[in-house]
Structure 1
Amino acid sequence: MPKAYVFTRYGGPETEALVEVDRPVPGPGQVLVAVRAAGVNPVDWKQRTGYRRPGESGSYAFPAVFGNEVSGVVEELGEEVRDLAVGDEVFGRPVEGGYSEYALLSVDLIARKPAALSFADAATLPVAAATALDGIVQLGLPSGATVLVTGAGGGVGVAVVQIARARGLRVVGLASEGKKDLVESFGAVHVPAGPGWTERVRAAAPEGVDGVYDLVGADVLTEAATLPADPAKVVTAGAPAEDVEKLGGARVTRFRTSDRLEAVADLVVKGELDPHVTRTFPLDRAGEALRAVEEGHARGKIVIEVAR
């Protein structure tokens, strides 16, 4: 039986386990993918605690498989699948988790993997890179404008910085002192996090901040929202909608489509986006991968690779 990394109930790391599961069977409009890589994201451990993304309701069926982005090879087609074939290399959002040897993907949340894109890099795109692109598009800032990115050294943050720079924006990146070199390597002006950071941003951007892409939430979001002249130019992927809406901004609106996946893959192929995979772990060490993200130690993206 195939293996998967799961959580058996809501709670902390003590609920996690590597277990054997039934091989999934694709339904209409779905494909079964032999997973080659799975991206690790903060939302993964948050879901273990009972967190719900906007629009979600109900509870998970336990054991629930971790993971929200995968790449792999199509193994089996469900009914009504016309545009994919067994053997196609693809990436996308799994229906029920991706830290596993096999995963189901829906045809409206899947894209073909370009030959120039590795499985590891492709597995970072459906959540982190697509979220980054969605937020930058939503801000709609003109070339030459200045955007502040909070949490600029994380998996989504480095993608936001790069996509913003590719669109001609000046980027100020708020991150820990230990991530200074990382943030600056992608063309942002680094501002160290910690008390007094807003004054440091004002000094780094004396002509003002035109927009904010927040990936931290809480007090950082509240302080960041005071910087742009137009509070509508504040978006967050790090806080609930109600937190940012009371400040005049909005949560990032996600476009979970195959077209969006193809767009971010094209950015990588053109050299405008480096997924910046910094560490990989085998499936039987998925817990270690998750801890690195949950404890805030990740620099860039962490990926679980599934041996074949």
Structure 2
Amino acid sequence: MTAVVTTGVGDFDRLVMSEVPKPAAGPGEVLVQVLAAGVNNTDINTRLGWYSSTVSTATNESSDGIDGLGAGRTDGGWNGATPFPLIQGTDCCGRVVAVGTGGDEAVVGARVLIRSCMPLGDGADSHETEWLGSDRDGAFAQFTVVRARDVFPVESTWSDAELATIPCAYGTAENMVSRAGITVGTRVLVPGASGGVGSAVVQLAKRRGAYVIGIASAAKRDRVLEIGADEVLERGTDPVVQLGAQSVDVVIDNVAGSGFGSMLALLRHGGVYVTSGAIAGPIVELDLRTLYLGDLRLIGCTAWDEHVFADVVSYVERGEIRPLLERTYPMSDIVTAQRDFLEKRHVGNVVLIPPTLSN
């Protein structure tokens, strides 16, 4: 089969279109033909080794992210060392074409979404996970193999590309919205509201009846309002001046960087700050007095609670959320797609389409 193989930590030249053996499903597994694969920050961060504790820069500062990191780096991936060479791609819409020995043949032919964050433990909410495309081969290929429990059949009129915008961004967003306890009337602030995760948070918080305030560039303001935000603050302005101190209940922030202190200043007593990323930089300054005097809660989210992805799929099937597909690219144009993704001019996500199978 044709696949994009990431050969190690580094720049775009580490992405190599290759012919590799087609995988086979083992016991408890299914073989999925990839129909469309979304592009995500996590794919780029893993290639750059950005998760290493030695990296302190923003996710789009790739030269700094690469500097000093080599293929032998032991902490550059989600769970430590990334198993290069690796087929990346954490977002997959596909079709089940085979099951392993003893598997349920009824799923063959079903269009599915693959759960990006895969629990390894037996508990209902295991925090031992592996990620598609980071810890095991993913969707930047014509086929991928995953455990049967990680494929979710989906009945929807959306296109394959539209469905491929969902798994990582919306699973991550739903996990944060759920843990934050957002409900009717909760005032929620969403920095980076035009991004893949941010735009998902806007929609998922609104479906719970929250009052949602987004932060985005002026050029993207109308798009963020269209997907449900009640207000949009212009990026670069002071949100404390705009909204007032202690004026929101929840901040769901995947931006971080120098604006972290302002996010905490906006929280009411007993407020909640939730994060699963740090695209503007992971190193922040925290005054512990703000935390404990305000009775604030800080929640970090990586592993998804068990109910999260099934819930997201049900929202798709009931039409309670909408896809935000900016553009599709042939999988062979992955470098162009990732470069465009890093420009952050889009709202939502971009998607790769694998080569058509030969007869």
Q: When the two structures are superposed, what TM-score results if normalisation uses the length of structure 2?
A: 0.77
CA distance, structure 2, for counterparts of residue 7 and residue 30 of structure 1: 23
* Counterpart check, 1:145 vs 2:186: yes
2:104 alignment partner in structure 1 = 82
Shift, 1:82, TM fit: 2.5
Change in Cα spacing, 1:79 to 1:222, as seen in structure 2 (3 Å) is: farther
CA distance, structure 1, for counterparts of residue 239 and residue 10 of structure 2: 33
1:35 alignment partner in structure 2 = 34
Match of 1:233 among 272, 281, 294: 272
Judge conservation of contact 1:45–1:294 (CA < 8 Å) in 2: no
Change in Cα spacing, 1:255 to 1:306, as seen in structure 2 (3 Å) is: same
1:115-154 alpha-carbon deviations (Å, 9 max, x no partner): 4343222222221111111111111033112100011001
Q: When the two structures are superposed, what TM-score results if normalisation uses the length of structure 1?
A: 0.89
Instruction: Give the SS at the match of 1:180.
Output: helix
CA distance, structure 1, for counterparts of residue 106 and residue 241 of structure 2: 52
Which residue identity lines up with residue 96 of structure 2 in the other structure? V
- More divergent stretch after superposition (211-220 vs 239-248): 239-248
2:303 alignment partner in structure 1 = 254
Match of 1:212 among 251, 256, 279: 251
Which residue identity lines up with residue 82 of structure 2 in the other structure? S
CA distance, structure 1, for counterparts of residue 106 and residue 282 of structure 2: 36
1:32-76 alpha-carbon deviations (Å, 9 max, x no partner): 1110001111111000011449961233221x2121010111122
- More divergent stretch after superposition (162-171 vs 8-17): 8-17
Change in Cα spacing, 1:155 to 1:51, as seen in structure 2 (3 Å) is: same
Which residue identity lines up with residue 191 of structure 1 in the other structure? L
1:15 alignment partner in structure 2 = 14
CA distance, structure 2, for counterparts of residue 289 and residue 105 of structure 1: 25
CA distance, structure 2, for counterparts of residue 47 and residue 73 of structure 1: 26
Match of 1:120 among 152, 155, 161: 161
2:61 alignment partner in structure 1 = none
Match of 2:84 among 61, 64, 72: 61
Which residue identity lines up with residue 123 of structure 1 in the other structure? A
Shift, 1:5, TM fit: 1.6
Q: Provide the aligned length of Structure 1 versus Structure 2.
A: 302
Change in Cα spacing, 1:223 to 1:211, as seen in structure 2 (3 Å) is: same
CA distance, structure 1, for counterparts of residue 238 and residue 275 of structure 2: 21
Which residue identity lines up with residue 29 of structure 1 in the other structure? G
2:69 alignment partner in structure 1 = none
Alignment identity in percent? 30
CA distance, structure 1, for counterparts of residue 305 and residue 109 of structure 2: 24
Shift, 1:303, TM fit: 1.0
Shift, 1:86, TM fit: 2.3
CA distance, structure 2, for counterparts of residue 54 and residue 263 of structure 1: 27
* Counterpart check, 1:164 vs 2:187: no
- More divergent stretch after superposition (45-54 vs 271-280): 45-54
Change in Cα spacing, 1:283 to 1:252, as seen in structure 2 (3 Å) is: same
Change in Cα spacing, 1:42 to 1:78, as seen in structure 2 (3 Å) is: same
Change in Cα spacing, 1:256 to 1:3, as seen in structure 2 (3 Å) is: farther
Change in Cα spacing, 1:112 to 1:241, as seen in structure 2 (3 Å) is: farther
CA distance, structure 2, for counterparts of residue 264 and residue 39 of structure 1: 16
Judge conservation of contact 1:191–1:201 (CA < 8 Å) in 2: no
Instruction: Give the SS at the match of 1:71.
Output: strand
Shift, 1:232, TM fit: 5.4
Shift, 1:222, TM fit: 3.0
Judge conservation of contact 1:69–1:125 (CA < 8 Å) in 2: yes
1:170-205 alpha-carbon deviations (Å, 9 max, x no partner): 001011112111111122111011142332243xxx
1:269 alignment partner in structure 2 = 317
- 5+ unaligned residues in a row in structure 1: which ranges? none
Shift, 1:241, TM fit: 9.1
CA distance, structure 2, for counterparts of residue 109 and residue 118 of structure 1: 21
CA distance, structure 2, for counterparts of residue 212 and residue 180 of structure 1: 19
* Counterpart check, 1:296 vs 2:335: no
Instruction: Give the SS at the match of 2:162.
Output: helix
- More divergent stretch after superposition (76-85 vs 291-300): 76-85
Judge conservation of contact 1:135–1:253 (CA < 8 Å) in 2: no
Instruction: Give the SS at the match of 1:43.
Output: helix
Change in Cα spacing, 1:227 to 1:123, as seen in structure 2 (3 Å) is: same
Which residue identity lines up with residue 3 of structure 1 in the other structure? T
Shift, 1:229, TM fit: 2.0
Match of 2:176 among 135, 151, 159: 135
CA distance, structure 1, for counterparts of residue 93 and residue 243 of structure 2: 38
CA distance, structure 2, for counterparts of residue 243 and residue 134 of structure 1: 23
Judge conservation of contact 1:138–1:253 (CA < 8 Å) in 2: no
- More divergent stretch after superposition (278-287 vs 190-199): 190-199
Change in Cα spacing, 1:221 to 1:231, as seen in structure 2 (3 Å) is: farther
Map 1:188-203 → 2, pairs under 5 A:
188=229, 189-202=231-244
